[in-house]
Amino acid sequence: MHFQDSARRERLRVRRSLTIKQMAAVSGVALVTICFFIAIQLFHFVEQRRDDYAQQLENIGHSVVRPLSQSVLNVDLKETQHILNTLRPVGILNRAEVVLPNRIPTLSTHFPEGRPVPDWVMASFDLPIKVSVPLYSPAVNPTTSQPIAYLVLQADPYRMYQFFVSALSTLLTTYLLLALVLSIAISWCINRLIIHPLRSIARELESLPESEVHYHQLAARPRHRDDELGILIRSYNRNQQLLDKALKAMQETRESFPNEEQFVSRVEQRINGSLAGKDFHIMLICIENVGEGEGAFCPVISSLLKVLPEQSLLARLGYNEFAVMVSEIERPFMAMRLARELMASINTPQTTAEMGITLHPTGSIGIAQYIGRQAISGHQLLTHARAARLSADRQGKNQILFFEPGLTAKIHRRLLQENEILHAMEKNDFTLFIQPQVNMSTGEVMGAEAFLRRKMNDGSYGLESDFIVVAEEIGVMAQLGYKMLELGCHILADWRRRDITLPLSLSLSGVQIQQANFLPELRSLISRYQIDNGQLVLEITETARIADWEQALIVLAELRRLGISVELDDFGLGYSGLEYLNRLRNVPINAIKIDRIFVASLPEDDAMANIVASIARAMNIKLKAEGVETEAQRGWLLNNRILFGQGYLFSAPVPLVEFETKFLLNETRV
């Protein structure tokens, strides 16, 4: 217990305080804002200083403009140089020169070389600052005549750089200090307003004993009655009340199971209620060595409750006799699976607390199925389940029987088939048989379709008619589909190495297409085996049980973008309404396959085949026929411009080696 408390405290320890997080957030926002304001103010100050320097340069120029104009007019170079030299003591200057109107410098004075300024400062603030003062003849009107020369004065850029550094350091110091003060003040306020109440709530919940968890209520915080914290506390308290109510109701239900009369009444309600059209099952269970304890506190009964689905109803008809109504299970196969799970929980050894001995409970289960809108009462249904339970008990311990003996045998065969499939997956006993797809006009093999086959008990390869249904029910269809894709890609890679470009078709199940990892796994296979565009053909059956056809059509379009051909199989047997066909027009389907059911009726009954062919031609999609078995069927298809077909007339699906020997190596025409 001490170890559990220590582990709990370790889990609840605060590793990153909200105080630190919100202070870091406030400081970050403050720094970004301050940097923005510093940049604005700095450029403003520098621009002001530029204007001041430009004004000073103009004042300096105007102070010598008259004598300088006279000396330039008299071409008195010595006097002109002397006047320029008088400007050397002016501190802000680092250059002064006289320039003729054609911008050719004539005379300049030499200033001491200034200290260097970084290039980025020169470029950012457009330094150095220069002014040009025009020089006119004293005898002319400056407004109507051209200047005889210009006095060009340049300010020392290092002075501006000094001002920039000084202003930046001052602004940084001032604003960073302000940011620190604001961050501390705002963080303190947020800490007092939000973090402290949250900490007190966390401490209260952390110190809560486990026995008080389900009915605990948080005390209201006076200053937070009308804000988000108040809403959080009220929501928590409401949820706790609902949880406490649900736990009490569950405890009352599990401690007082319905009796036989109440159970029959609930079954009658199910038969005559809104779900009357749906199948369901009831089970009668007899347990030997139930053990001590009442209701849900009995270990055996408790284990039954853990296995049963949520919507099930468990009734206690006697000391060791129980009845279960499983409303949500419609198929006998699933009911048998649940019964096996219940039997496994019954057979779990139980140790008694008083005598210290271990009990080994056994049981027998009878199952009765209600078929939608069947003319039967709840009492009769329970009688059927009891009769099945008595028959199971006479056969021995831990037996499960349906009321209909034939159904029990069928379910056992189904469970055996399930075990065989799982065993075959473990041993990797699956392979692909190949059937040619031919140009029925020339007999040339134009493609092939791969069919999954399982190694049977006698060593041959085959596949049960309901194999796909069973595989989907036991949840292995996605793995089998991936295995089939991998085997097909391996065949294509081997063909490519031998310069065989024949396309290979593989069927996809509706379950496989709806898997989230289908496309990533397919991309990986294409990359690993280096499958060429158009070499892999994937067939999706129109009758596949696809819950979201919109998403499936998106997946099919993505397959085309990957360079994979897409064909629609079983066309006409599924959802071919006008709305479905309209959606299909936007998906780049390479071909539609006429189902073998329609081909089998040719040439006598060609209505459905004509309809499918007309739809395909209207949508400009290539047609293929499957299940071609007679020359008459072949003739009708060719007469109706359907060139491509497959079926027993040409070849049954055969092992890969036989297919290659017969159709690839010898280039046989059929």
d(CA 358, CA 331): 36
Residue type, 44: H
Are 103 and 137 in the same domain? yes
* Residue 410 scores a pLDDT above 90: no
* Residue 144 scores a pLDDT above 80: no
For 83, other C-beta atoms within 10 Å of its C-beta total 23
* Residue 254 scores a pLDDT above 50: no
Whether the CB-CB separation of 284 and 388 falls below 8 Å is answered with yes
* Residue 68 scores a pLDDT above 90: no
* Rg of the Cα atoms in the chain: 46
User: pTM (2 decimals)?
Assistant: 0.48
Are 449 and 562 in the same domain? yes
d(CA 415, CA 221): 61
Are 469 and 597 in the same domain? yes
* Residue 658 scores a pLDDT above 80: yes
* Token pair belonging to 385: 């389940």
* Residue 587 scores a pLDDT above 70: no
| DSSP bridge partners of 592 | 568, 623
On the 0-12 / 13-18 / 19+ scale of CB atoms within 10 A, 80 is buried
- Most confident range (mean pLDDT) of 217-226, 257-266, 411-420 is 257-266
* Token pair belonging to 269: 């309600």
High-pLDDT (> 70) share of the chain, %: 83
Cα distances (Å, whole numbers) of residue 228 to 197, 221, 598? 12, 11, 67
Look at residues 165, 229, 162, 160 and name the one whose alpha carbon lies nearest to residue 201: 229
According to the model, what pLDDT value does residue 8 have?
Answer: 45
Report the C-alpha dihedral over residues 464, 468, 469, 472, rounded to 10 degrees: 140
For 368, other C-beta atoms within 10 Å of its C-beta total 24
pLDDT, the chain, mean:
80
According to the model, what pLDDT value does residue 2 have?
Answer: 40
According to the model, what pLDDT value does residue 320 have?
Answer: 84
Whether the CB-CB separation of 646 and 628 falls below 8 Å is answered with yes
Question: Would 436 be classed as within a structural domain?
Answer: yes
* Residue 635 scores a pLDDT above 90: yes
Least confident of 492-496, 513-517, 594-598, 630-634: 513-517
For 218, other C-beta atoms within 10 Å of its C-beta total 16
Whether the CB-CB separation of 352 and 359 falls below 8 Å is answered with yes
* Residue 508 scores a pLDDT above 60: yes
Are 117 and 218 in the same domain? no
Strand intervals (E) in 456-535: 461-462, 504-508
Look at residues 477, 421, 442, 453 and name the one whose alpha carbon lies nearest to residue 656: 453
Region of residue 189 (phi > 0: left; psi between -120 and 50: alpha; otherwise: beta): alpha
* Residue 472 scores a pLDDT above 90: no
Are 597 and 636 in the same domain? yes
Which residues, other chains included, contact 578 with Cβ-Cβ below 8 Å and sequence gap of 6+? Answer: none
According to the model, what pLDDT value does residue 633 have?
Answer: 93
* Token pair belonging to 556: 């099919």
pLDDT tens track for 562-580 = 888 888 887 656 545 555 5
Compare 283 and 83 and report the one with higher pLDDT: 283
Report the C-alpha dihedral over residues 630, 636, 637, 639, rounded to 10 degrees: 140
Residue 503 DSSP SS3: coil
Are 92 and 142 in the same domain? yes
d(CA 438, CA 598): 19
* Residue 342 scores a pLDDT above 80: yes
The mean per-residue pLDDT over the stretch 416-439 comes to: 84
According to the model, what pLDDT value does residue 451 have?
Answer: 92
Which residues, other chains included, contact 467 with Cβ-Cβ below 8 Å and sequence gap of 6+? Answer: 421, 454
Question: Would 128 be classed as within a structural domain?
Answer: yes
On the 0-12 / 13-18 / 19+ scale of CB atoms within 10 A, 557 is middle
According to the model, what pLDDT value does residue 248 have?
Answer: 63
* 6: confidence class by pLDDT, cuts 50, 70, 90: very low
The mean per-residue pLDDT over the stretch 339-355 comes to: 78
* Residue 533 scores a pLDDT above 50: yes
According to the model, what pLDDT value does residue 4 have?
Answer: 42
According to the model, what pLDDT value does residue 151 have?
Answer: 84
* Residue 70 scores a pLDDT above 70: yes
* Residue 386 scores a pLDDT above 80: yes
* 62: confidence class by pLDDT, cuts 50, 70, 90: confident
Least confident of 5-14, 65-74, 602-611: 5-14
Question: Would 408 be classed as within a structural domain?
Answer: no
Cα distances (Å, whole numbers) of residue 45 to 38, 156, 170, 431? 10, 17, 12, 82
The CATH number for 386's domain is 3.30.70.270
How does DSSP classify residue 370? E
Compare 559 and 447 and report the one with higher pLDDT: 447
* Residue 439 scores a pLDDT above 90: yes
Question: Would 423 be classed as within a structural domain?
Answer: no
d(CA 565, CA 553): 14
Are 283 and 248 in the same domain? no
Helix and strand counts by DSSP (H, E) for the chain: 22, 21
The mean per-residue pLDDT over the stretch 131-140 comes to: 79
* Residue 142 scores a pLDDT above 70: no
d(CA 467, CA 452): 10
* Residue 212 scores a pLDDT above 80: no
Look at residues 350, 373, 348 and name the one whose alpha carbon lies nearest to residue 297: 350
Question: Would 669 be classed as within a structural domain?
Answer: no
* 325: confidence class by pLDDT, cuts 50, 70, 90: very high
* 542: confidence class by pLDDT, cuts 50, 70, 90: low
According to the model, what pLDDT value does residue 1 have?
Answer: 39
E strand or H helix that includes residue 401:
strand 399-402
The mean per-residue pLDDT over the stretch 538-550 comes to: 63
Question: Would 34 be classed as within a structural domain?
Answer: no
* 493: confidence class by pLDDT, cuts 50, 70, 90: very high
Phi, psi of 452 (to 5 degrees): -75, 135
Number of domains within the chain: 4
Q: Which residue, 256, 280, 312, sits at the end of a domain?
A: 256
Residue type, 179: A
Question: Would 7 be classed as within a structural domain?
Answer: no
* Residue 652 scores a pLDDT above 90: yes
Distance of CA 637 to the CA centre of its chain: 46
Residue type, 590: N
Are 248 and 118 in the same domain? no
Are 538 and 612 in the same domain? yes
According to the model, what pLDDT value does residue 408 have?
Answer: 66
The mean per-residue pLDDT over the stretch 480-502 comes to: 90
| DSSP bridge partners of 625 | 594, 645
* 269: confidence class by pLDDT, cuts 50, 70, 90: confident
Look at residues 161, 155, 46 and name the one whose alpha carbon lies nearest to residue 91: 155
* 154: confidence class by pLDDT, cuts 50, 70, 90: confident
Q: Is the peptide bond before 655 cis (omega within 30 degrees of 0)?
A: no
Report the C-alpha dihedral over residues 351, 352, 354, 355, rounded to 10 degrees: -70
Whether the CB-CB separation of 400 and 340 falls below 8 Å is answered with yes
* Residue 52 scores a pLDDT above 50: yes
Are 448 and 554 in the same domain? yes
The mean per-residue pLDDT over the stretch 600-627 comes to: 88
Note down the domain range covering 470.
Answer: 429-664
On the 0-12 / 13-18 / 19+ scale of CB atoms within 10 A, 367 is buried
Distance of CA 181 to the CA centre of its chain: 45
Report the C-alpha dihedral over residues 304, 305, 311, 315, rounded to 10 degrees: 70
Whether the CB-CB separation of 386 and 284 falls below 8 Å is answered with yes
Are 247 and 274 in the same domain? no
Q: What is the DSSP string of 123-134?
A: HHTTPSPEEEEE
Cα distances (Å, whole numbers) of residue 533 to 486, 513, 528, 530, 566? 17, 20, 14, 10, 12
Question: Would 46 be classed as within a structural domain?
Answer: no
Least confident of 123-127, 255-259, 322-326: 255-259
The CATH number for 626's domain is 3.20.20.450
According to the model, what pLDDT value does residue 352 have?
Answer: 61
- Most confident range (mean pLDDT) of 11-15, 76-80, 490-494 is 490-494
Q: 């001995």: which residue's tokens?
A: 357
Compare 329 and 554 and report the one with higher pLDDT: 329
Compare 305 and 542 and report the one with higher pLDDT: 305
Are 246 and 304 in the same domain? no
